[in-house]
Copies of this chain bind each other. A is one copy, B any other.
Amino acid sequence: MSVSELEHPPVAATPPAAVEDLSPRGGRSRAGVAWRTYRGRVLRILVPALLIALWQASSALGWADEFTLPPPSRILDAYGELWSNGDLQAALPTSLQRAGIGLALGVTIGLALGLFAGLWKIGEEVFDAPLQMLRTIPFIAVVPLFITWFGIGETPKLTLIAAATVFPMYLNTYHGVRGVDKKVIEAGQTFGLTGWRLATRVILPTALPAALTGLRYAAGVSLLALVLAEQINALEGIGYLVNNANQNQRPDIVIAGIGIYALLGIVVDVLMRLAEHFALPWRPRVTIG
Contact = CB atoms under 8 A, between A and B. Distances in A.
Interface of A: 36, 39-40, 43-45, 47-48, 51, 67-69, 118-122, 124-130, 132-133, 135-138, 140-142, 144-145, 148-149, 167-168, 171-172, 175, 178-180, 182, 185, 189, 194-195, 198-199, 203, 209-210, 213, 216-217, 220, 223-224, 226-228, 239, 242-243, 245-246, 249, 251, 254-255, 257-258, 261-262, 264-266, 269, 284-289
Contacts of A144: 68, 246, 249, 251, 254
B175 A122 contact: no
Contacts of A288: 119-120, 185, 189, 194-195, 198-199, 203
Given A69-B145, A124-B287, A168-B168, 19 more contacts: A43-B125, A44-B125, A47-B127, A119-B288, A122-B289, A128-B269, A132-B265, A136-B264, A138-B227, A138-B239, A138-B258, A140-B140, A141-B243, A141-B257, A171-B217, A182-B284, A185-B286, A194-B288, A199-B288
Contact of A148 (B39, B68, B195, B266): B68
A68 to B, nearest CB: 4
9 contacts: A40-B121, A40-B125, A44-B128, A120-B288, A124-B287, A133-B265, A135-B220, A136-B262, A141-B245
Given A144-B246, A175-B209, A227-B138, A130 B48 contact: yes
Which label, helix, strand, loop or mixed, suits the secondary structure of the A interface?
Answer: helix
A122 B42 CA distance: 11
Contacts of A180: 286
A43 B126 contact: yes
A138 B285 contact: no
Contacts of A239: 138
Given A135-B220, A141-B243, A171-B217, A118 B258 contact: no
Contact of A175 (B127, B145, B213): B213
A142 to B, nearest CB: 7
A111 to B, nearest CB: 16
A149 B44 contact: no
Given A171-B217, A223-B136, A119 B179 contact: no
Contacts of A220: 132, 135-136, 167
A79 to B, nearest CB: 16
